[in-house]
Amino acid sequence: MDWDDYQAVLFDLDGVITPTAEVHMRAWAAMFNAFLDERGVDAPYTDQDYFDHVDGKPRYDGVRDFLASRDITLPEGTPDDTGHADEPATVCGLGNRKNDAFGQVLRDEGVEAYPGSLALMAQLRASGMRMAIVSSSKNAPDVLAAAGVADYFPVVVHGGIAAERGIPGKPAPDTYQEAARELGVPENTAVVVEDATSGVAAGAAGDFGLVIGVDRGVGADALLAAGADVVVADLAELVTEPTDGGPA
């Protein structure tokens, strides 16, 4: 990997920098299975549903796509809906109920960045590489702060910013393009790093210099099929070994 060929690296957050994808998975499962139980639906929500319908997407899009897979249609509702069982179910309400569950787990358990991701981030910062976070989650700033890595990323394009600016979410490339613009680099000089097929597809849909897939469970074949140029199991694989006996 010759990082000198590029000017910036645009990272997804959950599952790439931090293992919060696992927290998201647990929160989605708890919310959806409670909802399905309330409606008397026998087909439970599974981890495969997460990868097929939810992973990497803006929250309400994930709710909508999963419900469609079960032939369930709900009113859209408003972002003020709480999703409590005593309220009429809406897409926004279910998304907010999931977000409450995620926030509680984050507060209770905290989060640490993957060691391999930290090693790569440290190497890239030492070399002067520009870095940004591009996350569908509105929780991205809180996760970065909880993991103690916020200072690595002067630009964070998260779901809240995308909604405010009217930017389409993944799998559209627009949030990654926005991050490249904010960093002041041409799109084709930026590397996209993603663990979700929707995020990889977003990178492939743009004119980015390289799309790296990180296989945290979705499968290398799925990431390659979505448009990844290369797939790794951990970002430690992309840390450049020193050639002179000194630090990388």
Q: What is the pLDDT of residues 172-221, one digit of tens each?
A: 999 999 999 999 999 999 999 999 999 999 999 999 999 999 999 899 99
Distance spanning both ends of the chain, measured CA to CA: 13
Q: How far apart are CA 156 and CA 158, in angstroms?
A: 6
Please report the pLDDT score of residue 26 as a whole number. Answer: 86
Same domain? 127 vs 28: no
Percent of the chain having pLDDT more than 70? Answer: 97
Q: Is residue 85 part of a domain?
A: yes
Please give the structure tokens belonging to residue 11: 């990272």
DSSP string, 52-84: IIITTS-HHHHHHHHHHHTT-------TT----
Q: Per-residue pLDDT averaged across 163-179, rounded?
A: 96
Same domain? 87 vs 145: no
pLDDT-derived band of residue 140, with 50, 70 and 90 as boundaries? very high
Please state the domain count of the chain. Answer: 2
Residues designated catalytic: 12, 14
Q: Is residue 156 part of a domain?
A: yes
Q: What is the pLDDT of residues 6-64, one digit of tens each?
A: 999 999 999 999 998 788 888 899 899 999 998 888 889 999 999 899 988 888 999 99
Contacts of 39-48 spanning 24+ positions with Cβ under 8 A: 39/72, 39/89, 41/70, 41/72, 43/70, 47/217
Please report the pLDDT score of residue 248 as a whole number. Answer: 45
Please report the pLDDT score of residue 8 as a whole number. Answer: 98
Q: Is residue 90 part of a domain?
A: yes
Using the 3D structure, point to which of 74, 109, 144 is the last residue of a domain.
Answer: 109
Same domain? 145 vs 41: no
Q: What is the pLDDT of residues 73-94, one digit of tens each?
A: 999 999 999 888 788 999 999 9
Same domain? 13 vs 26: no
Please report the pLDDT score of residue 242 as a whole number. Answer: 57
Please report the pLDDT score of residue 86 as a whole number. Answer: 81
What residue type is assigned to position 213 of the chain? G
pLDDT-derived band of residue 244, with 50, 70 and 90 as boundaries? very low
Say how many C-beta atoms besides its own lie within 10 A of residue 237's C-beta. 14
Using the 3D structure, point to which of 45, 80, 109 is the last residue of a domain.
Answer: 109
Q: Which SS3 state, helix, strand or coil, does residue 10 take?
A: strand
188 lies in which domain range?
Answer: 3-18+112-238
Same domain? 48 vs 98: yes
Q: What is the pLDDT of residues 218-239, one digit of tens each?
A: 999 999 999 999 999 999 999 9
Whether the pLDDT of residue 241 is over 80: the answer is no
pLDDT-derived band of residue 152, with 50, 70 and 90 as boundaries? very high
Query: When comparing pLDDT for 87 and 5, which is higher?
Result: 5
